[in-house]
Structure 1
Amino acid sequence: MNLSASQLRRAAALQEKIEAIQAELASLLGSSAPAAVGKPAKKKRTMSAAARKKIAAAQKARWAARKAETAKKGK
């Protein structure tokens, strides 16, 4: 996206206005920090040791099957 100099100046001016309005809103609502905009952060999912072990075993079985298949073709 190529913007002209005038478009960039207008975008910067609009951004400043937005920030000023957010600061004013925060002061009216009694908040010291501006409100977060966008989606809230998702909680990081963790996997149990048993699940990791099960996945690793399945992957090793796939690798062994593939290795056996290529060894069979090589003979």
Structure 2
Amino acid sequence: MEVTRIVAEIDAQIRKLQQARALLADASKPVPGGRRGRPKGSTTAAAAATPAKRKRKLTPEGRKRIAEAMKKRWAEQRKQKAGK
């Protein structure tokens, strides 16, 4: 008789553990709508309102003008240092 009672208690414990496992397994399943939070690829209203900045390009003529101006400036600085 003692053995049947022990087996019945073990069966009761197994049922409790199976119920607990089922509850935990349901809790770990993903939410039907997917992930929480903002979806990937979405932008904020502030980012959507401001246009993207274009990269400024320097033409070869503009680059040449700047180079000539810098050479002129460096020449003037050398003259000032030599005059001191």
TM-score, length basis structure 2? 0.46
- Highest relative contact order (Cα 8 Å, sep 6+), 1 or 2? 1
Structure 1 consecutive aligned stretches of length 4 or more whose deviation exceeds 4 Å = none
Structure 2: which 5+ runs fail to align? 1-34
Alignment of 1:21-40 (within 5 A): 21-23=37-39, 33-37=40-44, 38=47, 39-40=50-51
TM-score, length basis structure 1? 0.50
The structure with more radius of gyration: 2
Structure 1: which 5+ runs fail to align? 1-18, 24-32
Between the aligned residues of both structures, percent identity stands at 35
Report the residue type matching 1:65 in the other structure: E
CA RMSD of aligned residues (A): 2.1
Aligned length: 46
